[in-house]
Amino acid sequence: MKTILTGIRSNSALTLGNYLGALLPMVRLANKHSDEYQINIFVPDLHSIISDVDGDLQKNIIRTIKYYLAAGLKLNENVHIYRQSHIPAHSELCWILDCVATMGETSRMIQYKEKSKGQESCNVGIFNYPILMAADILLYDAEYIPLGEDQFQHIELTRNLAMRFNHRFGAEIFTVPVSTAEQVKFMGVSDGIRIRDLLNPEKKMSKSTVAENSKIMLDDEPAKAAKKIMSATTDSIGKIKFDMWGQPGISNLLQIEALVTDAPLQDVIATWAGQTRYGDLKKKVAESVSEMLTIFQAELAKISDERVYELLEDGEEYANRVANAKLLEAQRAFGLR
Ligand code: ATP
Ligand code: MG
The CATH number of the domain holding residue 55 is: 3.40.50.620
Q: From the CA of 126, how far away is ligand 2's center (Å)? A: 14
Residues 7 and 105 in one domain: yes
Q: From the CA of 184, how far away is ligand 2's center (Å)? A: 19
Is residue 228 among the annotated active site residues?
no
Report if residue 207 sits inside a domain.
no
**Structural domain of residue 230, as residue ranges?**
212-300
Report if residue 59 sits inside a domain.
yes
Q: From the CA of 116, how far away is ligand 2's center (Å)? A: 14
What lines the ligand 1 site, CB under 6 Å?
8-9, 15, 17-18, 21-22, 148, 193-195, 204-208
Is residue 115 among the annotated active site residues?
yes
Residues 65 and 171 in one domain: yes
| From 206, 215, 217, 244, mutation site for ligand 1 pocket: most ligand atoms within 8 A of C-beta | 206
Q: From the CA of 98, how far away is ligand 1's center (Å)? A: 27
Report if residue 200 sits inside a domain.
no
Which ligand sits closest to the CA of 215? Answer: 1
Q: What is the CATH number of the domain that holds 268?
A: 1.10.240.10
Residues 137 and 181 in one domain: yes
Residues 32 and 151 in one domain: yes
Encode 254-288: b = buried (16+ Cβ within 10 Å), e = exposed: bbbbbbbbeeeeeebbeebeeeeebeebbebbbbb
Residues 84 and 226 in one domain: no
pLDDT at 114: 86
Which ligand sits closest to the CA of 150? Answer: 1
Which ligand sits closest to the CA of 50? Answer: 1
Residues 34 and 121 in one domain: yes
Report if residue 46 sits inside a domain.
yes
Residues 156 and 227 in one domain: no
Residues 107 and 179 in one domain: yes
Inter-residue contact 216 to 225 (CB < 8 Å): yes
pLDDT at 50: 92
Per-residue pLDDT of the chain (337 residues), as tens digits, is 999 999 998 988 999 999 998 899 889 889 999 999 999 999 999 999 998 898 999 999 999 999 999 999 998 899 999 999 999 999 999 999 999 999 999 999 998 888 888 888 889 999 999 999 999 999 999 999 988 778 899 999 999 999 999 999 999 999 999 999 999 888 876 556 889 999 999 999 999 899 999 999 999 999 999 999 999 999 999 999 999 999 999 999 999 999 999 999 999 999 999 999 999 999 999 999 999 999 999 999 999 999 999 999 999 999 999 999 999 999 999 999 9
Is residue 204 among the annotated active site residues?
yes
Residues 87 and 142 in one domain: yes
- Smallest Cα–Cα separation from 147: which of 99, 111, 103? 111
Whose CA is closest to atom 5 on ligand 1?
206
Report if residue 275 sits inside a domain.
yes
pLDDT at 188: 75
Report if residue 206 sits inside a domain.
no
Residues 98 and 111 in one domain: yes
Report the alpha-carbon distance of residue 289 to residue 187 in Å, rounded. 25
3-state secondary structure string across the chain? CEEEEEECCCCCCCEHHHHHHHHHHHHHHHHHHCCCEEEEEEECHHHHCCCCCCCCHHHHHHHHHHHHHHCCCCCCCCEEEEEHHHCCHHHHHHHHHHCCCCHHHHHCCHHHHHHHCCCCCCCHHHHHHHHHHHHHHHCCCEEECCCCHHHHHHHHHHHHHHHHHHHHHCCCCCCCCCCHHHHHHHHCCCCCCCCECCCCCCCECCCCCCCHHHCCECCCCHHHHHHHHHCCCCCCCCCCCCCCCCCHHHHHHHHHHHHHHCCCHHHHHHHHCCCCCHHHHHHHHHHHHHHHHHHHHHHHHHCCHHHHHHHHHHHHHHHHHHHHHHHHHHHHHHCCC
What number does the ligand 1 atom closest to the CA of 194 have? 28
Which residues fall within 8 angstroms of residue 45, CB to CB, at 6 or more apart?
A: 10, 57, 61, 83, 84, 85
Catalytic, out of 66, 115, 215, 284: 115
Residues 166 and 223 in one domain: no
Residues 120 and 238 in one domain: no
Report if residue 195 sits inside a domain.
no
What number does the ligand 1 atom closest to the CA of 196 have? 27
pLDDT at 164: 98
Backbone dihedral region for residue 51 (phi beyond 0: left; psi -120 to 50: alpha; all else: beta): beta
- What is the total count of domains within the chain? 2
Report if residue 202 sits inside a domain.
no
pLDDT at 193: 83
pLDDT at 120: 81
Report the alpha-carbon distance of residue 94 to residue 33 in Å, rounded. 29
Q: From the CA of 256, how far away is ligand 2's center (Å)? A: 19
